[in-house]
Amino acid sequence: MGWTLADAPAQHGRVAVVTGASSGLGLEAATQLATAGAHVVLACRDAGRGARALEQVQERFPDASVELSLLDVASLASVRAFVDRTLADHPRLDLVLANAGIMAVPFGRTVDGFERQLGTNHLGHFAMLAGLWPGLRGTVGARVLSVTSVVRHTGTVPGPGDLDPLRYDPWVAYSRSKTACAVTGVELDRRIRRALGEDPATVASVVAHPGFTHTDLQHRSVREQGGLAARFFSATVRTQGMPVHHGVLPLLRAVLDPTVVSGQMVTPRTGTHGAPVVRRLERRLRDPRAGQRLWELSEQATGVTWDV
């Protein structure tokens, strides 16, 4: 039998931050963490949707300790404000789930001028995690989760030209952004081990992907982009995708299972469906040179220096 939430230890006294918590995997992860006893910060872009998410968590679990905090990871100004507010209220953090994301949307730029998917899925989270690092680095058992996707198999590690590319394909850009999330998770683990030794008991960097899960992510792609591929994917996930309460399990196992160690990834058993299992990321995503280049590019693009 695979890992389930019944195997997770209680989270009383711990503080968790979940981005993209207004719906889908983020909302389910936040609800389950609150149910386990954690105080959960729902980091949401839209105030109205965030308020509804807060109500839903409290309806499902009336004793939940939750708060709403506005965060648009596509805006570095919003990220800075969120970091300042979060550390002022919670100087010690235990779990940060960098979950928010968009998928295969039409070309656009963030307010800071980055290609929208790379800016939202990767750069905004990089800046947020760097900012929150003072609250994590001294917390025994703290965990940082980077959320990737099965499309990392076809994605390339971003370079300077991908910040605002001359040519754009929505699926190529999505694959690139989720590859960046995986590479950053591994590079953070490498830097933690360099700073803390081979057994980084203080803080761990883990990676997960939810597999083929039915959320609004796919349907938003149709609403914004249309196109045969997006419509096919949206229709398929309705009938064949895992429900959210199954798809969230890789994310929750990655941050709650003490047997998952820093640098590992949790995925559905088949890669798209099934119980959450521990896997090692592909060799090319563990390349130290790729991790170093992406880290430096991310620091330069965001103007954030992240010293682990």
Contacts of 48 (CB under 8 A, 6+ apart): none
Helix (H, G, I), strand (E, B) or coil at 203: strand
Contact predicate 138/92, CB 8 Å = yes
168 as an active site residue: the answer is no
CB 144 within 8 A of CB 98: yes
Q: Which one of the listed residues 82, 126, 174, 233 is annotated catalytic?
A: 174
Longest dimension (CA), the chain: 51
Contacts of 199 (CB under 8 A, 6+ apart): none
CA 150 to chain centre: 14
Contacts of 67 (CB under 8 A, 6+ apart): 39, 40, 41, 42, 54
By annotation, the residues acting in catalysis are 174
